[in-house]
Structure formats: structure tokens, C-alpha cells
Amino acid sequence: MSQYPDFVATIDTSGLTCPLPLLRTKKALQTIESGQVLKILTTDKSALSDFQAFAKQTGNTILLQEPTEVEGTVVHFIQKR
């Protein structure tokens, strides 16, 4: 397991499918400052590629994406541009 980056907020979108994890992430990013990091938990199978596309489109940076100890859950760390 990787060393997690420092983050200022966490959102849990477990059980939600696209586009809800992305919409909740977009809303949460509006509440933090530039350079701060948001932690997102997802269970949607397409979340890895969805978040990569989201970051590319929005200019935010994905610092880390990896599975957690919980089966089917992936953690994403996105730094606000």
C-alpha cells in the first residue's frame, strides 16, 4: 500500500455509478483551495478511467489511484488546479 498524500477533505461515493462520483467530486473540489487535495472513495468499475478523463478535462492532477483493503473500492487523490 502506498503512502497517501496529505488531503483536506474526503468524499465517499461507494455504491454510486457514473456520473455521480464525478459530479460529487466536482462539487467537493469547489469547496477547497487551489493546490489542496481531495480524497475520493469509489466502487464504480469505470472510476479509474472516468477520473483520468475528468482530470485531463478539468486540469486537476491525479496524485494517486489504487485499490483499498475493501474489495472493489478504489481510492483516488486529486489535487485542485
* CA separation, residue 53 to residues 16, 70, 72 (Å): 18, 24, 20
> Tell me: the pLDDT tens digits for 3-50?
899 999 999 999 999 999 999 999 999 999 999 999 999 999 999 999
- pTM of the full predicted structure? 0.94
Question: What distance, in Å, lies between the first and last C-alpha atoms of the chain?
Answer: 26
Is 62 a residue of the active site?
Answer: no
- Residue spans of the domains in the chain: they are 9-79
CATH 3.30.110.40 fits 9-79, yes or no: yes
DSSP state at residue 19: T
Q: Which of 12, 14, 16, 18 is catalytic?
A: 18
Neighbours of 2 (CB within 10 A): 10
pLDDT of residue 63: 98
